[in-house]
């Protein structure tokens, strides 16, 4: 049996919830599908905060400038301007909706993070900013009777007919069988793909399914080679790679090597607050130089009471693992954190496939270029989630839902009963991604990774496993294509930035990689 609704939103992070609210405000019926409970997304785990121009000494041009520098020549200036200028308005609206950012003496408190020229990062409950976003957006969405949230419903395919996205196929959590929903348009807000890597700060849901589904449905993908590795994920044997927020270095944390020596001065004059890609590569170099598996984050110069108040979640997690953030050296090493590339969109979330919109980490809007500025992602989800919802409502509001005779191009009939992402495929892909498509890459490592993914893809895989290995192949192929180093992409065989590659990689099903000077497909 198939269902229909006006609009489908896939994902319940900041972008998905904000898009659903925009659609509901336009009078539409919205079904939000999410593969876990509604609060489980990358947004929920965002610690550091949200960058926004709200303090007296800040200006939009400064935030724009910092974002463009971090993006290493590949940001779309209009996208950055949209993010920064509209971001302030949307954050004020979020505050009106009940989001509680941390304050002192009744005033908002702004913290510092790497590569920001001003203290402009708002945070909530110390280090649980994303969770506060989710809490307040779920409460706001709950006040819209036309929004239905469907948790534990994993979407596996986008359905298309006559070159248009017409709906989705998902696994019904009760029937435990595939089911179809049709709509005027689908808004993809499925987040990133940190789980492609053996070591990641991302939760288990961040497997990048939305990117793979969009690719199979025929949408353009852009800049897939640009992966951000966070420098300081906790690195304790047997413990999850819990994020130790960049804000800890922003507040004065120091990185030391295995001999206890502060080492960032050897690599960059901005020390611990150099851009993330530089700090991550410096840590790798220092671990190699000293033959050690980790370096250490040292917070001991700061007051214990301040640290426990400022970073309560990190304090609690470290304490449970036997570490005192105020007294101990905290073992850290880099882990995959954020995808700058994704589904190519214009400034209103329109992809190259009619009927398919996207917002948040699943996209490439040109906001981040080759490297995302810290704490710009919650802002991106908010601004572009709202814009995608508004655009979908105004572009497609008058259309009627087309059901039946749609196809899902990532499935073959016998796979429909094999839904799970197999543990063996997942483990093998993650290991190859970490070792060969990781922080440092070269032609040979990438060639071998691509060959291995091609081999895995030949097996009789479930749809979810096929999505996963295909996505890994896209990242590896784009990294192979880009014969230079820029932002989050570092080729040891091409260590310099090359003017010839000041362009975006574009991948489309059935075509060889091309390049484009513009992200916006409509330009």
Task: State how far the Cα of 103 lies from the Cα of 113, in Å rounded to an integer.
Answer: 18
449 with 476: CB under 8 angstroms? yes
Is 119 a residue of the active site?
no
Phi, psi of 171 (to 5 degrees): -95, 115
Length of the chain measured in residues: 523
CA distances, 494 to each of 225, 373, 441, 486, 509 (Å): 14, 24, 9, 10, 27
Stretch that binds ligand SIN, among 17-25, 240-248, 414-422, 429-437 (CB under 6 A): 240-248
Residue with Cβ nearer ligand SIN (253 or 355): 253
Cβ at position 48, least distance to ligand SIN in Å:
3
Burial of 509 (0-12, 13-18, 19+ CB in 10 A): middle
Residue with Cβ nearer ligand SIN (280 or 352): 280
Measure CA of the first residue to CA of the last residue in the chain; give whole Å.
41
Residue with Cβ nearer ligand SIN (81 or 246): 246
Task: State how far the Cα of 260 lies from the Cα of 270, in Å rounded to an integer.
Answer: 19
Residue with Cβ nearer ligand SIN (117 or 455): 117
Task: State how far the Cα of 234 lies from the Cα of 352, in Å rounded to an integer.
Answer: 39
Beta strands in 247-379 (DSSP E): 254-256, 295-298, 329-339, 342-344, 356-358, 363-364
Cβ at position 279, least distance to ligand SIN in Å:
11
130 with 378: CB under 8 angstroms? yes
Cβ at position 172, least distance to ligand SIN in Å:
34
- For 191, residues 6+ apart whose C-beta sits below 8 A from its C-beta are 11, 13, 15, 41, 42, 43, 205, 206, 210, 360, 361, 362
Nearest-5° angle of CA 97, CA 103, CA 109?
A: 105
Residue with Cβ nearer ligand SIN (48 or 87): 48
Question: Can residue 280 be called a binding residue for ligand SIN (CB under 6 A)?
Answer: no
- For 368, residues 6+ apart whose C-beta sits below 8 A from its C-beta are 67, 70, 71, 75, 226, 340, 376, 380
CA-nearest of 67, 87, 90, 86 to 77 is 67
Question: Can residue 247 be called a binding residue for ligand SIN (CB under 6 A)?
Answer: yes
340 with 320: CB under 8 angstroms? no
Residue with Cβ nearer ligand SIN (158 or 359): 359
Report helix, strand or coil for 469.
Answer: helix
Q: Which residue is nearest to ligand SIN (CB)?
A: 48
User: Using H for helix, E for strand and C for coil, what is the string for 52-73?
Assistant: CCCCCCCCHHHHHHHHHHHCCC
Catalytic residue among 120, 276, 310, 372: 276
Applying CB under 6 A, among 190, 200, 365, 377 the residue interacting with ligand SIN is 377
206 with 191: CB under 8 angstroms? yes
What's the token pair of residue 434?
């970490």
Applying CB under 6 A, among 11, 13, 48, 167 the residue interacting with ligand SIN is 48
Applying CB under 6 A, among 47, 351, 445, 507 the residue interacting with ligand SIN is 47
Binding mask 335-374 for ligand SIN (x = CB under 6 A): ---------------------------------------x
Cβ at position 175, least distance to ligand SIN in Å:
37
Question: Can residue 66 be called a binding residue for ligand SIN (CB under 6 A)?
Answer: no
Residue with Cβ nearer ligand SIN (114 or 506): 114
Question: Can residue 81 be called a binding residue for ligand SIN (CB under 6 A)?
Answer: no
β-strands 164-172, 154-161: how paired? antiparallel
Residue with Cβ nearer ligand SIN (473 or 487): 487
Stretch that binds ligand SIN, among 69-77, 233-241, 244-252, 323-331 (CB under 6 A): 244-252
- CA dihedral over 360, 366, 371, 372, signed as positive or negative: negative
Question: Can residue 67 be called a binding residue for ligand SIN (CB under 6 A)?
Answer: no
Residue with Cβ nearer ligand SIN (197 or 348): 197
Cβ at position 247, least distance to ligand SIN in Å:
5
Applying CB under 6 A, among 246, 298, 346, 361 the residue interacting with ligand SIN is 246
Stretch that binds ligand SIN, among 52-60, 89-97, 239-247, 396-404 (CB under 6 A): 239-247
Binding positions for ligand SIN, 381-440, rule CB under 6 A = none
Cβ at position 49, least distance to ligand SIN in Å:
7
- In the block, residue with structure tokens 């009627």: 400
Cβ at position 42, least distance to ligand SIN in Å:
9
Question: Can residue 245 be called a binding residue for ligand SIN (CB under 6 A)?
Answer: yes
β-strands 177-182, 2-4: how paired? parallel
State the helix-helix crossing angle for 77-96 and 60-70, rounded to 10 degrees. 130
Residue with Cβ nearer ligand SIN (330 or 374): 374
- For 238, residues 6+ apart whose C-beta sits below 8 A from its C-beta are none
Question: Can residue 375 be called a binding residue for ligand SIN (CB under 6 A)?
Answer: yes
If you compute the radius of gyration of the chain from its CA atoms, what whole number of angstroms results?
22
Cβ at position 22, least distance to ligand SIN in Å:
23
Binding mask 197-216 for ligand SIN (x = CB under 6 A): --------------------
Cβ at position 375, least distance to ligand SIN in Å:
4
Phi, psi of 355 (to 5 degrees): 90, -10
Q: Tell me the site size for ligand SIN, rule CB under 6 A.
A: 9
Cβ at position 114, least distance to ligand SIN in Å:
9
Which residues are known catalytic residues? 276
Binding-site ranges for ligand SIN (CB under 6 A): 46-48, 245-247, 374-375, 377
């Amino acid at each position: 049996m198939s269902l229909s609704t006006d609009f489908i939103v896939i994902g319940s992070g900041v972008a998905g919830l904000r898009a659903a609210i925009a659609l509901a405000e336009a009078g539409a019926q919205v079904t939000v599908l999410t593969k876990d409970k509604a609060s489980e997304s990358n947004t929920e785990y965002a610690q550091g905060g949200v960058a926004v121009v709200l303090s007296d000494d800040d200006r939009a041009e400064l935030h724009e400038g910092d974002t463009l520098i971090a993006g290493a020549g590949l940001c779309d200036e209009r996208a950055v301007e949209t993010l920064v200028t509209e971001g302030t308005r949307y954050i004020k609206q979020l505050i009106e909706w009940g989001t509680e950012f941390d304050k002192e003496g009744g005033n908002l408190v702004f913290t510092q993070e790497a590569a920001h020229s001003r203290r402009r990062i708002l945070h909530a409950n110390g280090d649980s900013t994303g969770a506060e976003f989710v809490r307040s957006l779920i409460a706001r969405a709950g006040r819209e009777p036309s929004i239905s949230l469907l948790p534990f419903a994993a979407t596996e395919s986008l359905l298309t007919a006559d070159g248009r996205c017409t709906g989705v196929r998902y696994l019904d959590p009760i029937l435990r069988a595939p089911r179809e929903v049709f709509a005027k348009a689908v808004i993809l807000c499925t987040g990133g793909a940190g789980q492609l890597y053996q070591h990641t700060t991302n939760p288990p849901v961040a497997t990048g399914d939305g990117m793979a589904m969009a690719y199979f449905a025929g949408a353009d993908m852009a800049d897939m080679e640009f992966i951000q590795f966070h420098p300081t994920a906790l690195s304790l044997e047997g413990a999850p790679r819990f994020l130790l927020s960049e804000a800890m270095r922003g507040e004065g944390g120091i990185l030391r090597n295995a001999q206890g020596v502060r080492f960032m001065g050897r690599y960059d004059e901005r020390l611990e607050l150099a851009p993330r890609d530089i700090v991550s590569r410096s840590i790798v170099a220092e671990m190699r130089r000293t033959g050690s598996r980790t370096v250490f984050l040292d917070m001991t110069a700061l007051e214990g009471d301040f640290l426990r108040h400022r970073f309560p979640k990190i304090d609690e997690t470290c304490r449970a693992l036997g570490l005192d953030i105020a007294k101990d050296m905290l073992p850290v090493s880099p882990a995959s954190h954020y995808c700058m590339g994704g589904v190519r969109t214009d400034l209103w979330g329109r992809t190259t496939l009619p009927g398919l919109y996207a917002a948040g980490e699943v996209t490439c809007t040109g906001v981040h270029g080759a490297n995302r500025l810290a704490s710009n992602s919650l802002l991106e989800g908010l601004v572009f989630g709202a814009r995608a919802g508004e655009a979908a409502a105004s572009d497609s509001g008058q259309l009627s839902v087309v059901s039946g005779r749609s196809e899902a191009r990532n499935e073959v009939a016998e796979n429909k009963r094999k839904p799970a992402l197999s543990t063996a495929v997942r483990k093998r892909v993650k290991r190859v991604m970490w070792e060969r498509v990781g922080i440092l890459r070269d032609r040979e490592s990438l060639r071998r990774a691509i060959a291995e993914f091609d081999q895995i893809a030949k097996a009789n895989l479930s749809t979810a496993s096929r999505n996963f290995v295909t996505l890994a192949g896209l990242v590896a192929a784009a990294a192979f294509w880009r014969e230079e180093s820029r932002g989050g992409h570092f080729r040891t065989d091409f260590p310099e930035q090359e003017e010839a590659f000041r362009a975006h990689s574009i991948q489309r099903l059935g075509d060889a990689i091309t390049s484009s000077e513009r992200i916006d497909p409509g330009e």
